[in-house]
Amino acid sequence: MMLEQVSKTKVFGGWLQQFNHQSKVNNCTMRFAIYLPPQAATQKVPVLYWLSGLTCTDENVMQKSGIQRVAAELGIAIVAPDTSPRGSHVADDPEASYDFGLGAGFYVNATQAPFKPHYQMYSYIVDELPALIEAEFNVTQTRSISGHSMGGHGAITIGLKNSLRYQSISAFSPICNPINCPWGQKAFNGYLGADQTSWAEYDSCELIKKTDAKIPMLVDQGCADNFLAEQLQTESLKAAANIKQYPLTLRMQEGYDHSYYFISSFIEDHLRFHAKYLIK
């Protein structure tokens, strides 16, 4: 698969790079960022996949979180894909809202027109992108997954549905119960259609209730997050985990909001959490 390098910058002894490639599942050009720690110059390293939130791209976590410092220390590669397909030929929300269409792929495989030909973000994250990363870079097949907001939803649902592919899961401010919140209902109706039985396959709370997997999970949620009650519904995730006795560590962080200031405050904790399972 052909890679087109967009940028390359040295950070904490490693290399942060951006690439474009032609995605077969999304039928468009996709961009991702990868941070290779200094250890990758001489040995294969494990990978943490980071999924970003609404309106974001691969750049948000790489530019705002400070994630590279600890990744360089621990010897973990970070891969950050885009949040949706892009291009003039890719369907968008006709109302051009921020929470649907371009920049808001919700990490599902769309089944509805006109989104189905391009919005196959679940398959892109689970299958196509890791195959590319493992073929082209000095990394192992040992993976964990994390994300923020819409990306937190993606990280948890993908991790739960693919328990043999990921060692650990973490999230900041995840959309925990999308079948019962306005963001999720809008996205799922548009991408998956009106039949709500298909929605549960992309809902963290519903997946925890029926999973037998016990992948370690860390979730941080800011108590001052404006989206907490209506959109994120963290208490629903906690309740589902309690019923199933799922190994969830949920930390409610007093005073913190939904921003990357919050993420940068606790990103080191998340990397060290994942390192316990990525580095044997």
Residue in 65, 144, 146, 149 annotated catalytic = 149
Residue in 84, 225, 236, 270 annotated catalytic = 225
Question: Is 175:232 a contact under the CB 8 Å cutoff?
Answer: yes
Question: Is 158:122 a contact under the CB 8 Å cutoff?
Answer: yes
Q: Is 149 considered catalytic here?
A: yes
User: Measuring CA to CA, which residue among 15, 32, 18 is closest to residue 71?
Assistant: 15
Residue in 148, 153, 258, 274 annotated catalytic = 258
Q: Is 258 considered catalytic here?
A: yes
The CA distance from 77 to 129, in Å, is: 14
The CA distance from 37 to 46, in Å, is: 10
User: Measuring CA to CA, which residue among 143, 183, 146 is closest to residue 46?
Assistant: 143
Active site residues: 149, 225, 258
